[in-house]
Amino acid sequence: MKKKNVILTFALLMCISFNFVFASTNTQVRTENNLMIKPSIKVTEKVKKAALSTPKVDETEKIYDFANLFTESQENILYNDVSSFINEYDMDMVIVTINDNNKSSSMAYADDFYDYNYFGVGSTNDGLLLLIDMDNRVVWISTTGKAILMYDDARIDDILDYVQDELVDANYYNAGLEFISESKYYAEKGIPSSNSNMTIDKDGNYVERFDIMSYILRVFPIPTIITLVVILIGVTSHRNVKKAVFAKEYLKENTVRITGRQDKFLRSNTASYRISSSSSGSSSSGGSSTHSGSSGVSHGGGGRSF
Amino acid sequence: MDVLDHECPSCGANIPFNPKTQRWDCKYCGASYTLEDFEKYDKELKKEEEKDKEIDVEMDEYLCPNCGAKVITDKNTSATFCVYCGSTNILKNRLQGEFKPSKVIPFKNTKEEAVDKFYKFSKKKWFAPKEFCSKKNIKKVEGVYIPFWLYDCDVIGGIVANAQSISRWTSGDYEYVKTDYYLCSRDGSMTFEKVPVDGSTKFQDDIMDSIEPYDYSEMKDFNASYLSGFLAEKYDVEKDDAYSRAKSRVKNSAVQRLEENIPFSNITLASDTLNVQKVKDDYVLMPVWLLNINYKGKMQTFAMNGQTGKMVGNVPISAKKLILIALIMEVVLVMIFTLFLYVL
């Protein structure tokens, strides 16, 4: 009996320790009074609710395999690859897998998971997160801060192509590897030309870069024209002495008799012009599409079903 | 030389025309006269005057009837002041015969009003130098009756003009512009009345043109009494010489009036057969306040219509003020635009 108990306890301990090492999904508990979120996020009712429903994890682990899609060794390799990416490109990288999505969408889960844990590099929390949502069978990439600039819509689309291919075949580990290597590939290329005049402001929003030339070209022409017209009107008002050439005010209108009128049609001429099809183009060459999550932080990215 | 000195019939003092009351008010005895009163008084005087008629007509000097001093005037001046005693002198022989104006528009505003108007007028100009807008710069203000010729003209004839009718429409990716060309002719007649032309070479035509128009409904039959207290000139441009200016103005306006009858755009005159005929001419005196402005050592003439109060004159432009205003406008507008484009 005693022996049996010891074995059972040992097995239980083994089981626990096994779980700890393997899945590394140990989470901390958030409370109303201790939300454990970044101080930069303003606490509102909405934030409180979203944060409480988001697991608090150890942000150094990087791979959060809640859905148990990876083996321990796979997880280690992914961790090593992610770490080297983070070191090399000054952007954070996170891979999350889930079986149950308690939020409205894969996008919401990805954004909240990133925002309510201490992820991100620098003041704008630069980084990107891959979420494999087995509940909705959706893969989602969420970018934050400078990663929004680095991964424009076209690049996200391309990365998703590779990841999706692997996910369809249930090769989750390979999907993770593709995600890391493609992200690396584009980070190496630098910020795409589609985002060359965009920037991330201090609040992490994706905004147009302040460029003095484009500012001048956009803001100055109309005020300058208005000023010149007003000055011209003012100057002409200074010159009011001029010789009269007409005598209109001395014409007795009731004496005007039109005795003959003839309009002879001579010829007609029709010219045609092609209407230039430049209809109010807002975003000319792609760029990144952004949205803001429950925390108010801006995110880029995109997703696919698999 | 016959000088009509406007004496108060009751006390004998000089009695000038008052533009405010449109009467003759004596400053000394307080008596006030209408034109009818004067005419009655004048008639009695004339009987005595006819006895000793003037011989020397074209003299440039006369004896002041008030103090007896010899006064030299411009040969075209018909009303002035004695430089010694300051009394109003009207040189009647220069207002007689062919020089007798048929009508006059009396002054309606005073010297003070003219000075005030100059100040307000120049101050209203955006780029006027601050030092310019000062009553101190006014060196001389004179109320002058200026000789004008008024012409009534009939215009008969026609014009031929090219005109276009333009219509636009879009179809698919193309915009079409159709231009129809027409040759239009209009014949007709019209009358212009009382087209004014300055009859004195002393005054610049452009300034005199610019103070137009006068309200002819207040025009009175000429009476020398209106000149009392003002300066007056007689014409030195013959009516046939002055007519050419009226004729060209009338013709231009006649063309314009006939062109208005053409229902097309881009009208260009090809030819005309317009004949301007003078029906009547009148010699009249019009009231003008002349202001001599001395600014930075340069003399400039401003003029005010003595009836309507319309002020004309070229107010100088201060480059400093212009640049400053332009800069402020530009900066403010750029700020507003930046706010709209980048913040909101």
| Number of structural domains chain B divides into | 2
Give the number of A-B residue pairs with CB atoms closer than 8 Å.
182
B84 token code pair: 């010694």
Q: Which of A263, A278, A279 to substitute to test the interface with B, most B CBs within 10 Å?
A: A263
Q: Cα Rg for chain A, rounded, in angstroms?
A: 33
Instruction: From chain B, pick out residues whose CB is under 8 angstroms from the CB of A229.
Output: none
Q: Are residues B116 and B210 in the same domain?
A: yes
| B49 and B68 fall within a common domain | yes
B140 and B87 share one domain: no
pLDDT in tens, A195-240: 888 888 888 888 877 778 778 888 888 999 999 999 999 999 888 8
- Residue among B90, B26, B329, B113 nearest B226 (CA): B90
B188 in the same domain as B156? yes
Domain identity same for B93 and B116: no
- The whole-angstrom distance between A222's CA and the closest CA on chain B is 9
Q: Does one domain contain both B132 and B206?
A: yes
Distance from CA of B123 to the nearest CA of A (A): 11
Beta-carbon separation of A238 and B246 below 8 A: no
One domain, residues B96 and B225:
no
Domain for residue B323, yes or no? no
Question: Is residue B85 domain-shared with residue B178, that is, in the same domain?
Answer: no
- Measure the CA–CA gap between B190 and A257, rounded to whole angstroms: 6
Same domain, B259 and B125: yes
Domain ranges, residue B33: 3-100
Q: Give residue-wise pLDDT tens across range A147-206.
A: 999 999 999 999 999 999 999 999 999 999 999 999 999 999 998 988 888 888 888 888
How far does the CA of residue A285 sit from the closest CA of chain B (Å)?
A: 21
Cis peptide before B213, with omega less than 30 degrees from 0? yes
Domain membership flag for residue B341: no
Residue B322's closest chain A neighbor by CA? Answer: A231
* Final residue in a domain of this structure, among B74, B100, B126: B100
Please judge whether A269 and B210 are an interchain contact, meaning their C-beta atoms are less than 8 angstroms apart: no
Nearest to A246 among B128, B179, B253 (CB): B253
Each residue's pLDDT, cut to its tens digit, for chain B (344 residues) gives: 345 556 777 776 777 888 888 888 877 777 788 887 777 776 766 665 554 444 344 556 777 777 777 777 777 777 787 777 777 777 777 777 778 899 999 999 999 999 999 999 988 898 998 888 888 888 888 899 999 999 999 999 999 999 999 999 988 888 999 999 999 999 999 999 999 999 988 888 899 999 989 999 999 998 888 888 888 888 888 989 999 999 999 999 999 999 999 999 999 999 999 999 999 999 999 999 999 988 888 888 899 999 999 999 999 999 999 999 999 999 999 999 888 877 76
Within a domain: B339 = no
| Three-state secondary structure call for residue B283 | strand
Phi first, then psi, for residue B73 (nearest 5°) are -125, 165
Whether B332 maps to a domain, the answer reads: no
- Same domain, residue pair B117 and B96: no
Query: Residues B138, B226: one domain?
Result: yes
Backbone torsion region of residue A140, taken as left when φ is above 0, otherwise alpha when ψ lies between -120 and 50, otherwise beta? beta
B206 to A272: CB separation less than 8 angstroms, yes or no: no
The answer to whether residue B66 sits within a structural domain is: yes
State the average pLDDT over residues A122-129.
92
* Residue A226, both tokens: 């208005």
Domains of chain A plus CATH, in order, are 23-196 (3.10.310.50)
Amino acid at B192: F
User: Are residues A155 and A176 in contact, defined by beta-carbon separation less than 8 angstroms?
Assistant: no
B62 and B175 both lie in a single domain? no
Q: Alpha helices of B151-290 — where are they, by DSSP H?
A: 205-210, 239-259
Domain membership of residue B191 (yes or no) is yes
Q: Which chain A residues are within 8 Å of B122, Cβ to Cβ?
A: none
The C-alpha of A128 sits at a distance from chain B's nearest C-alpha, in angstroms, of 29
Of A222, A244, A271, the CB nearest to B209: A244
- Residue B64 is assigned to a structural domain of this protein: yes
Residue B259 within any structural domain of the chain? yes
Q: Of B70, B100, B130, at which residue does a domain stop?
A: B100
Give CA–CA dist B19/B29, Å, rounded: 19
CB contact under 8 A, A240 and B329: no
